[in-house]
Amino acid sequence: MTELTPTQRTSDNPLFFSDPQDQPERLDFVEYWRTLRKRKWAILSFALIVTLLAGVIAFVSTPIFEAKTTVLIETKKQQVVSIEDVYGGVGASREYFQTQVEILKSREVALKTIAKLKLYDNPEFDPRLPKKGLAALREQIGFATKEAPPEWNEENLSESALGKFTANLSIEPIRLSQLVVVRFTSPDAALAARVTNAVAQTYIENDLDARYQMTRTASAWLQERLAGLKAKLDQSEQALQNYREKQGIVNIKEAAQSGVGQQIEQIQTRLIEASTRRAEIEATYRIVKDAASAGDLASQPAVLNSGQVADAKRQATEAARKLADVSQRYGKEHPKYLQADSDAKAANDNLQRQVDLVVAGINHEYERAKSTEKMLQGALGAARGTVQNINRKEFELGVFERDVDSNKQMYDMFMQRAKETNVAGDLQTTVARVVDPAAVPIGAIKPKKLLIVAVALFMGLLVGVMIALLMDVLDNTLKNTQDVEARLKQPLLTVLPMLGKKEAMRGTSGHLMVDAPNSLYSEAIRTARTGVLLSSVDVATRVLLVTSSVPGEGKTTFSSNLALAHAHTQRTLLIDADMRRPSLARAHGLDSDAVGLSELVAGTAELADCLQPVKDSQLMILSSGAIPPNPLELLHSERFVQTLELLGKRFDTIIIDSPPVELVSDALVLAARATGIIFVTKAQSTPLPMVRKALMRLRRADGHIIGVVMNALDFNKAEKYYGEYSGYGKHGYANYGAAYGMAYGASTAKPKAA
């Protein structure tokens, strides 16, 4: 038994194909598309079922109607009277609007609405009706204790209906506005409209009632305070009058305090005027004085304000201009120049005289202002001494007067508030109003039947596609020929088509090579025979072990037909080594009770007595014989090795049909005795991990695996769903050896689209 070297595993050896990694990779979406095509009817059926269920549920569901009422909450409403300070009037802030929205959502408004409409008498909200659905079922099966019904009244009936009422009620403010939309859903369209209008009206009435109660409370408090304030005012006025009588004062402010008060006021007024006048003249005086030191009096505003100075300055300017004109035409000795020069000097002298007169007047006026101010200061000092006694009395009188004024103002303010409160109690204004009352809705908002059906169809298709893809991912079986090399890392010997019902019947499938030599199955068997011959050209006697992972994968049928194929050209022996469940003799219509392998190994029978010929062929079969107590020991014995050597001298090819690897260890013992192992697996049936485990166990048992046979592959489906271009399914090339070409070229040829 020889192992092929890596150099032998090339395209020159038909049993070994090129590395699948060298093949051009298929795009994932192509594989996904094939998966969906394979399960398209299941996906469509699932989507149709989901759609039908959703449609039935949508069409039998109770329609729900929604009514809405729009309420305007006016945060800047004009008030009839200014009573806001009494009970916190309407503000212009956003917080006030949000507060009113929360009041509209409050439990109090909801309970008043329920009581107002008597919703607890409606079957939808009536808690007195028998429980239905899950709650009733829980009571019936004992998971919920059955409580005695309470004594119903308006209060607890409203409380019981509150939960369902608030669940159907929706209150939402409209962004960037003072509008609030009140919505209510119910199977009864008219009820939905009545509820939304009632909620808005109840909120408005509740606000009016709250304001009325606050007004009444404020009015009572104001009346109580007025009584105390009136008594305090009377007491302070009496104290003021007593002090005046005691001091002999008639009216200290209007009686002029014996004339001195008016005199002081007059002197103070004159002193202020004199001080102001003196300050103004002093400023002018100092400016003129500083200008005189600098020699620039003629340019000062105080000097220029004088008409005489202005005229003199204008004359001096005109004379200077004329002198300049004459000097440009005539010389200095010319009479006209001398006359112009004389006029200019006279004008300047006149200007200086006028400036000196103005400055002298300013100095005189400044001295007179100082004298007047000093005189008024003396007179004021004398008058102040006279009025000091009167000021002391005035101070004490002022204390009494301020007390009277304060009490009078407080009393007047409370009196005004009391009157406003009484008016506000009779004339209340609302801060909200209904701008769009609810009408009875015509169409139901749910269920949206067409949308539900469309969404159900889409979701059904989506879930169906996901399930199909998930099933494909979870499917860990060998689905096509490329999986053998790509996932098992083993050469593909041949692919056997799925047999029909008649062919699969026991007794006929084992000799299809004889009964149907031109069939697709027979061509595949001949392909396997050729692969076996090419794998061991130099071996004199071939001992081939045919096994599988589990029963039912078709290894017995394959071994029988492979043996018949070899029997055409060689001396071939087929051994039934499955001593626990022998089936070869029965499959070929032979005597299953005849002596066989067990007797030959034990030495109780001769070889000629154990061999049975197959009808219409040169194949010889060695049946299992009597079932020994421990078949494994028999196969592991040295006598079994000697028996194989004896058989090898007589036959060119020995094919052993062994038990499955995963059930017993017989195949592992036989693997070391065979020159090659053919592993049979069923397409789309045997899990991939089980196949890998079986192959690994055979390799560990020093077995030489020639190749893998994929059995029961539906070529039509493989070509349609997996892109396997086999040449079998649709084109009928069985008579031209297409199976042979497929076995050697499937892994190297580019897959064609289905």
Residue type, 679: F
Query: 195 with 118: CB under 8 angstroms?
Result: no
State the DSSP H helix or E strand holding residue 185, giving kind and residue range, or none if neither: strand 179-186
Domain total for the chain?
A: 4
Cβ atoms within 10 Å, residue 383? 18
Residue 174 shares a structural domain with residue 289: no
Residue 44 shares a structural domain with residue 69: no
Residue 53 shares a structural domain with residue 155: no
Query: 658 with 648: CB under 8 angstroms?
Result: no
Q: Which of 436, 463, 491 is the last residue of a domain?
A: 436
Report the DSSP beta bridge partners of residue 611: 622
Position 6 scores a pLDDT of 37
The Cα–Cα gap between 457 and 524 comes to 45
Residue 40 shares a structural domain with residue 71: no
Alpha helices (H) along 248-334: 260-294, 301-304, 307-329
The Cα–Cα gap between 482 and 547 comes to 21
Residue 327 shares a structural domain with residue 468: no
How distant, in Å, are the alpha carbons of 261, 319, 584 from that of 298?
48, 16, 151
Cβ atoms within 10 Å, residue 682? 23
- Considering the domain boundaries, does residue 623 fall inside one? yes
The Cα–Cα gap between 542 and 321 comes to 149
Provide the phi-psi class of 325: left if phi over 0, else alpha when psi is between -120 and 50, else beta. Answer: alpha
Residue 464 shares a structural domain with residue 382: no
Burial of 231 (0-12, 13-18, 19+ CB in 10 A): exposed
Residue 468 shares a structural domain with residue 487: no
How distant, in Å, are the alpha carbons of 510, 511, 607, 721 from that of 613?
14, 13, 13, 43
Report the DSSP beta bridge partners of residue 344: none
Range of the domain at 163: 65-219+431-436
- Considering the domain boundaries, does residue 505 fall inside one? yes
The two three-digit tokens of residue 125, written as one number: 């909200």
Burial of 385 (0-12, 13-18, 19+ CB in 10 A): exposed
- Considering the domain boundaries, does residue 12 fall inside one? no
Is the four-CA dihedral 197, 198, 201, 206 of positive or negative sign?
Answer: negative
Query: 17 with 748: CB under 8 angstroms?
Result: yes
- Considering the domain boundaries, does residue 750 fall inside one? no
How high is the mean pLDDT in each 10-residue block of the chain (754 residues)?
A: 38 40 52 75 89 88 89 66 45 75 89 88 81 62 61 84 89 89 90 90 86 75 73 74 66 52 74 76 67 58 63 76 78 77 77 70 74 75 66 66 74 71 56 85 84 90 86 75 82 86 62 84 90 79 91 90 91 91 85 88 90 89 88 89 91 93 89 92 87 92 91 72 48 40 36 30
CA angle 29, 34, 39 (to 5 degrees): 125
How distant is the alpha carbon of residue 669 from its chain centre?
62
Residue 32 shares a structural domain with residue 55: yes
Position 693 scores a pLDDT of 92
Residue 286 shares a structural domain with residue 357: yes
Task: Indicate the pairing of strand 179-186 with strand 65-73.
Answer: antiparallel
Position 180 scores a pLDDT of 92
The Cα–Cα gap between 191 and 194 comes to 5
Largest CA distance in the chain: 185
Q: Which of 384, 412, 436 is the last residue of a domain?
A: 436
pLDDT tens for residues 60-95? 888 888 999 999 988 755 444 444 444 444 444 678
Query: 584 with 657: CB under 8 angstroms?
Result: yes
- Considering the domain boundaries, does residue 75 fall inside one? yes
Residue 406 shares a structural domain with residue 496: no
What letters, b where the CB count within 10 A reaches 16 and e where it falls short, cover 176-187?
A: eebebebbbbbe
- Considering the domain boundaries, does residue 442 fall inside one? no
Select from 670, 672, 673, 650 the least CA-distant residue to 660: 670
Residue 469 shares a structural domain with residue 480: no
Residue 535 shares a structural domain with residue 620: yes
- Considering the domain boundaries, does residue 111 fall inside one? yes
The two three-digit tokens of residue 120, written as one number: 């607890």
Select from 170, 139, 743 the least CA-distant residue to 495: 743
- Considering the domain boundaries, does residue 251 fall inside one? no
Coil vs helix vs strand at 79: coil
Query: 711 with 546: CB under 8 angstroms?
Result: no
